[in-house]
Structure 1
Amino acid sequence: MTTQNLLVELFVEELPPKALQKLGNAFANVLFDQLKVRGLTAADSVVTFFASPRRLAAHVTNVLERAADKDVLVKLMPVAVAIKDGKPTDALRKKLANEGRAHLADLWPNAVDGPDSLVVQSDGKADAVYLRGIAIGGTLQVGLEFALNEAIAKLPIPKVMSYQLETDCELPGWTSVNFVRPAHGLVALHGSTVVAVKALGLTAGNSTQGHRFEAVVSPVVLQDADSYAATLRKDGAVIASFAERKAEIARQLAAAAAKVGNGARPIEDEALLDEVTALVERPNVVICQFEEQFLGVPQECLILTMKANQKYFPLLDAAGKLTNKFLVVSNISPEDTIFVTGGNERVVRPRLADAKFFFDQDRKKTLASRVEGLGKVVYHNKLGTQGERVERVRAIAKAIASQLGDAQLVQDADLAAQLAKTDLVTDMVGEFPELQGIMGGYYALNDGLGETVANAIEDHYKPRFAGDALPRNTAGVVVALADKLETLVGMFGIGNLPTGDRDPFALRRHALGVIRMLVEKDLPLDLNALLAGAVPAFGDKITDASAQLADFIYDRLAGSLREQGYSAQEVDAVLALRPQRLALVEKQLAAVRAFAALPESPALAAANKRVGNILKKAEVEGPVDAHVNPELLQEKAEQDLFAALQRFVPEANAQFDAGDYTASLQTLAVLRAPVDAFFDDVMVNAEQLDVRMNRLGLLKMLHNAMNRVADLSRLAV
């Protein structure tokens, strides 16, 4: 059966830019999947999505005009129900009538009529009557209409709007339609043939609209499915492909920056590039500039206002410093761009003036003078104000700093913790919340507090996201740790935990931030002590949920380690011991991986699991001491195991204490032979109590020695 390529386009009013790429992908993929389910695509069919501000489209290769017929086998009912005394029952006749095959009952037992027949075969439990026939393949028109409506219904629409269409009936009226934006046109071409499908009150044709102002013709008539993109570009002045439009914008941005010279480059922001791609159909990049006086404002403020409010691309110099030039991606291409340039320069000027005004006003008050104002800002109804929160962070920071450094570190960390949140009550952060921390750093320098404190204030939110940099100095690490611990301990202490995909206080991100700082900064801090040490700062506002919080942190650590390529077994073996120094976990994992590669590993892991089970049962009656009386060792195998432990465990312990975990485990690998012999020749549960307890003590000694780096039983298959 011959195939042709298919093109479907939905022409609408301007779509939400931040969702456009997702909408385009979803529209094309659901449409393709539904066509595939209905047998209308070939094995090598490929779908390509198009998305511009005013259209969603999909191009599918090798689409059938009608799906192939296929054999079907429908189970009707068990034979015991269908046939009685050799004749069809009323139940079978009724079922066949529902299937449109009532006459087959009269032909029993030779119920064959052309391609239709009744057959008896087992369903795996008992014999049943089946209807065998041929399902006629559906037409493209029917299948496409269903697929199109499914694609529309399953779009990940951020917010649905309702609009009304005039009805086609004789009595005038209106019908309501729910969609992301009002739809005005529908195209469906199978090769060059229009497929007359309907959706959203529209009937498909072969014409669409081009650029609002620069289309060569209107409407744009499409000759066939394959000429869609080329025709829209030529006659409609529209680049329909999201990917091509994005690449063209990136090319023009680079060319415009090169034209400016002096190593200028547009700021890198993938999200901004995607959003601008979703705002224009025919991109044209122009160079604009603003007055140099605004460069006295922190560049983060200027960059943010240009990006967030105007969708401009600020230009940085070779050193990464903001210049007074910026790039605008226009949706029109006039011969003279002076009006485009002038208009955008006029629009950005008051934005920058506002930023300068906020910056100048904020600097009139010191950060220290703003501390009192935090007492009027509610943080959480169960945890009090931001002022109370600051005092908790200070207490936690002092405790951490005293473990990591001298009095100067304690002083710097305390001052930074006291002032870290004060920029929340500044005009600049009130206007641009994204600048919290950053502006605090600038204002600290303005107050003469020095780089150490300023950097700590700026960095205390770090890491803000996966891959973000960590705080630059130790004071910053201390305050960042204290800030995240305050959030985690406080929220867990009031039972405000993340559930499913809901995590309004970003507790997962905070936990990963704590992990990263402890690991990457190699901090000599024990996790349990760190969590428990933060609890007293809350007084009676919370209950102590340190154990639950520790589990949460270990879960995040386990996920992070698996993402780094460690196996679930390796991670489970190390984290089963709940290591307190998280900075050492990767060394432990490396040791476990090296141990697992040894030929002795499987036998020792299995033996370790067996030992653990024996001790667990024995300790139900009381604790087992890792103590051995050599005089009670009766069998040669237990004597040999004790001798091996006496010889090799001190060496392994010394290597462990020196941090050489790999060597420690490899030293213990020699225990395989005496361990195997012990289990072959010795009965642990001897009748004599002193002999039994002595053997359990020997196993406890072995268990303690083998499981200092990791729980090796977790490696057993």
Structure 2
Amino acid sequence: MKAQNLLLEIGCEELPASFIKPALDFLKTELSKRLEDAFLKPSEIETFGTPRRLILLAYDIPEVQPDREELLVGPSVKAAFDSEGNPTKAAIGFARSKGVAVEELIKVSNPLGKKGEYVAIKKLVKGKPAKEILALILPQLILSIPFKKSMRWGSKKVRFGRPIRWILAVYGREIVTFEVDGIKSSNISYGHRFLTPNGFEVENVNEFINGLEEKFVVADIEKRKSIILDVSETLAKKVGGELLKDEDLLEEVTNLVEYPYPILGSFDKEFLNLPKEVPIVVMKDHQKFFSVVDNDGNLKNYFIGISNIKPADESVIRKGYEKVLRARLKDALFFFNEDRKKTLEERVPQLNGIVFHEKLGTMFDKTKRLELLAPFVAESTGKGRVKEKVERAALLSKADLLTEMVNEFPELQGTMGKYYALLDGEDESVATAIEEQYFPRFSGDVVARGEVGISLSLSEKIDNLIGFFGVGIRPTGSADPYSLRRNAIGLIQTILENRIHLNLLPVFQKAKEIYEDLGLKLSESAPQEVLEFVKERFKVLLRERGFKIDTIEAILSITDDLYDALLRIEAIETLRKSEEFENVLVTLRRVVNIIPKGFEAVDFEPEGKYETELYEKFLLIKEKLSKLISSKNYREALLLIKELKPFVDAFFENVMVMDKDENVKNRRLSLLKTIANELLSIADFSKIAS
């Protein structure tokens, strides 16, 4: 069967950078699905995009749908025929609606989506031309793209990310004719808005992407990214520096231009006296410029901006970039000097004027809570020796919110606190903690590493979680305005990466007590709810690492110490790779599962060969087992438990545990309960799948 390629281009006003990739992903997935449903499956689909266009190329779409036999299902056999086998009105009506005689009806069992016997007809469906099907699919596809925000224009009948200006739709060499809100599809596309703005006719679908490059449009996203990166790195080397790598900025800038042209600029060296994060943030977040650093990572007084045109005179654009950047950096230097007129500690009382949340008080209230919670966390994590420094860091932790610099550049919250604290003469660990309290700030970011910073970082997240859950504010399926999921994940990452042993529930309960001691009543269930919320996030992380869900459940049901839980899970999962040890886990599961819920062991003396041998073996390993568990050596503990397997197996093969004699039954259950209590100090083996 002959096949042709399809080209679809949606031309529009400039889309926000963050809109492009999701839209292209949707187009690719959804077109593939719709064509397959229409029996026109392509061999491959490629997507391309710039701020002004979304492009889709689908290869080898059959020219005509295949002829096919369809099963049209009618009423059930019971409804279609009476007790004597005569067709009812339901059968007659169904046959008439399908244009066949009632005698042509057939019986089918369990047709798709139904159970039982039904009447049906088989009908030959003649395949339609692909062009005809595409004319129906494409306008629906265009209007179904889910943008984060969309707008109406013109007749205001449709919504799209930005106003649509043209639609190019060509199948083979023919136009796929349709209309979207008065815009008719055609074979006309447009080049770069400024460099080659005129329309041009597309004659060859396969040459379209290369043809656009001749019109100063690099439609291939990865190619634009490579151009930006390669040229920018070369420019940085020319001034003895290196490009400060920033994947997020690279991704954004790539989708802000159609024809990337990197330009090297510079700024006055006096601005290097600012904390280096300040110029970097100004360049990245406000101007979309890349920073240049030396071999040691120190900022140089150069930047690279990405123009959307190849200028006739590059210096004109460079001077424009430099002028705007200088103004922003001059403002930043002014803010920095003004902020230095007052210490962080002097600013703390003014935090009463900043609302943290209407239900959770001011930033001053939050500071007071952190002053009480952070030392408790330090003590709970074995870092009691730095309690005084932790308390000092907590006192100063939010003071930089009152600085001009953070007011102008909120991205520098915490970072400016660190620098101002150092300039105030605070201990370096205290200053570093002010910044580290917010770590990790995003996926892939570093976690707090200093002893003081770890305690403050954990406390910051715990206070947020307990407070919001305590007043009934929780994340929903898609909404999490207070970043509580991020707080939970940051809490988990900080604990795991620093190998911290911390029983979470007592700390959560302490956080609740502190809220209430300072006059804010929270729900009684908040600590437990937060614990479950954090554990659910932890389970997701563990599953992503490839751990079995039954192992995860077996451990998290007995401990609130996440790092300890990870050690136990790793030990079990490592040993489970051995079939022999998998059988040991199943045996231990038998011990735990047979004990009735709520049963408590009574004093007993084992009787008979199998009870005695099992109990004696248990006593032989018990003391050593307790020491291994206390030292967190779970692998060796599990290997030691392995020695119980033959005795447990012999016991179950030769002894009736649930004996009719209550005394015998209780003795045997007490023996197993005594062993189970020791086993459950490692894992709830009842949750290990057989």
1:330 is displaced (CA, Å) by 0.9
Matched with 1:27 is 27
After superposition, the C-alpha distances for 1:335-387 in whole angstroms (9 at most, x for unaligned) are: 32111111111122211111111111111111011101101111122221110
- 1:376-391 equivalences under 5 Å are 376-391=353-368
1:123 is displaced (CA, Å) by 4.0
Matched with 1:628 is 604
- 1:140-539 equivalences under 5 Å are 140-164=130-154, 176-215=157-196, 218-234=198-214, 236-260=215-239, 262=240, 264-402=241-379, 409-538=386-515, 539=517
Aligned-partner Cα distance in 2 for 1:669–1:404: 32
Matched with 1:709 is 682
Aligned-partner Cα distance in 2 for 1:406–1:176: 63
When residues 473 and 80 of structure 1 are mapped into structure 2, their CA distance, relative to the original with a 3 A threshold, is closer
Matched with 1:587 is 567
Aligned-partner Cα distance in 2 for 1:603–1:671: 12
Deviates more, 1:473-482 or 1:673-682: 673-682
Contact 2:8 2:170 in 1 (8 A): yes
1:66 aligned to which of 64, 67, 72: 64
Structure 2 segments unaligned to the other structure (5+ residues): none
Code of the residue aligned with 1:188 in structure 2: it is A
2:98 counterpart of 1:119: no
After superposition, the C-alpha distances for 1:95-145 in whole angstroms (9 at most, x for unaligned) are: 34433x1xx22xx53x4xxxxxx4334447655332211112222233112
Code of the residue aligned with 1:536 in structure 2: it is E
Aligned-partner Cα distance in 2 for 1:594–1:90: 67
Considering only aligned residues, what root-mean-square deviation do their CA atoms show, in Å?
2.4
When residues 475 and 707 of structure 1 are mapped into structure 2, their CA distance, relative to the original with a 3 A threshold, is same
Aligned-partner Cα distance in 2 for 1:29–1:406: 51
SS in structure 2 at match of 1:163: coil
SS in structure 2 at match of 1:178: coil
When residues 697 and 40 of structure 1 are mapped into structure 2, their CA distance, relative to the original with a 3 A threshold, is closer
Contact 1:635 1:682 in 2 (8 A): no
Contact 2:63 2:129 in 1 (8 A): yes
2:631 counterpart of 1:658: yes
When residues 81 and 230 of structure 1 are mapped into structure 2, their CA distance, relative to the original with a 3 A threshold, is same
Matched with 1:168 is none
Matched with 1:570 is 551
SS in structure 1 at match of 2:596: helix
After superposition, the C-alpha distances for 1:423-443 in whole angstroms (9 at most, x for unaligned) are: 111111111111110000011
Code of the residue aligned with 2:504 in structure 1: it is L
- 1:550-565 equivalences under 5 Å are 550-565=531-546
1:255 is displaced (CA, Å) by 2.1
Matched with 1:647 is 620
Aligned-partner Cα distance in 1 for 2:54–2:63: 23
1:395 is displaced (CA, Å) by 0.4
When residues 147 and 267 of structure 1 are mapped into structure 2, their CA distance, relative to the original with a 3 A threshold, is farther
SS in structure 1 at match of 2:65: coil
Code of the residue aligned with 2:140 in structure 1: it is E
Larger CA Rg, structure 1 vs 2: 1
Matched with 2:7 is 7
Contact 2:139 2:178 in 1 (8 A): no
Aligned-partner Cα distance in 1 for 2:266–2:497: 42
Aligned-partner Cα distance in 2 for 1:591–1:474: 28
Contact 1:17 1:275 in 2 (8 A): yes
1:400 is displaced (CA, Å) by 2.8
2:129 aligned to which of 121, 136, 139: 139
Contact 1:248 1:283 in 2 (8 A): yes
Matched with 2:643 is 670
After superposition, the C-alpha distances for 1:685-711 in whole angstroms (9 at most, x for unaligned) are: 445554443322211221123222112
After superposition, the C-alpha distances for 1:3-54 in whole angstroms (9 at most, x for unaligned) are: 1111111221212222122223323432333222212234xx1111121121
Code of the residue aligned with 1:4 in structure 2: it is Q
2:657 counterpart of 1:684: yes
Aligned-partner Cα distance in 2 for 1:454–1:75: 74
Matched with 1:36 is 36
SS in structure 2 at match of 1:95: helix
When residues 400 and 163 of structure 1 are mapped into structure 2, their CA distance, relative to the original with a 3 A threshold, is closer
Aligned-partner Cα distance in 2 for 1:220–1:251: 31
When residues 695 and 33 of structure 1 are mapped into structure 2, their CA distance, relative to the original with a 3 A threshold, is closer
2:675 counterpart of 1:699: no
Count of residue pairs the alignment pairs up: 682
1:642 is displaced (CA, Å) by 1.6
Contact 2:554 2:687 in 1 (8 A): yes
Matched with 1:549 is 530
Aligned-partner Cα distance in 2 for 1:613–1:681: 18
SS in structure 2 at match of 1:164: coil
Structure 1 segments unaligned to the other structure (5+ residues): 112-117, 166-174
The normalised TM-score by structure 2 is 0.93
- 1:68-107 equivalences under 5 Å are 68-83=66-81, 89-99=88-98, 101=99, 104-105=100-101
After superposition, the C-alpha distances for 1:552-609 in whole angstroms (9 at most, x for unaligned) are: 222222222222222112212222212x443332332233234435565455434433
Code of the residue aligned with 1:150 in structure 2: it is Q
Aligned-partner Cα distance in 2 for 1:655–1:555: 28
Identity of aligned residues (%): 33
Aligned-partner Cα distance in 2 for 1:119–1:600: 56
When residues 121 and 421 of structure 1 are mapped into structure 2, their CA distance, relative to the original with a 3 A threshold, is closer
The normalised TM-score by structure 1 is 0.90
SS in structure 2 at match of 1:616: coil
Code of the residue aligned with 2:324 in structure 1: it is V
Code of the residue aligned with 1:153 in structure 2: it is L
1:228 is displaced (CA, Å) by 0.7
Matched with 1:56 is 54
Code of the residue aligned with 2:61 in structure 1: it is V
Aligned-partner Cα distance in 1 for 2:158–2:610: 83
1:156 is displaced (CA, Å) by 1.9
Deviates more, 1:636-645 or 1:74-83: 74-83
Aligned-partner Cα distance in 2 for 1:50–1:369: 55
2:573 counterpart of 1:596: no
When residues 123 and 700 of structure 1 are mapped into structure 2, their CA distance, relative to the original with a 3 A threshold, is closer
Aligned-partner Cα distance in 2 for 1:268–1:360: 29
1:72 is displaced (CA, Å) by 0.8
After superposition, the C-alpha distances for 1:615-664 in whole angstroms (9 at most, x for unaligned) are: 32462xxx324x432xxx33221121122122222232233233322222
Contact 1:420 1:457 in 2 (8 A): yes
When residues 29 and 668 of structure 1 are mapped into structure 2, their CA distance, relative to the original with a 3 A threshold, is closer
SS in structure 2 at match of 1:468: coil
When residues 379 and 191 of structure 1 are mapped into structure 2, their CA distance, relative to the original with a 3 A threshold, is same
Code of the residue aligned with 1:71 in structure 2: it is E
SS in structure 2 at match of 1:510: helix
After superposition, the C-alpha distances for 1:306-326 in whole angstroms (9 at most, x for unaligned) are: 111211112122211221111
Contact 1:637 1:674 in 2 (8 A): yes
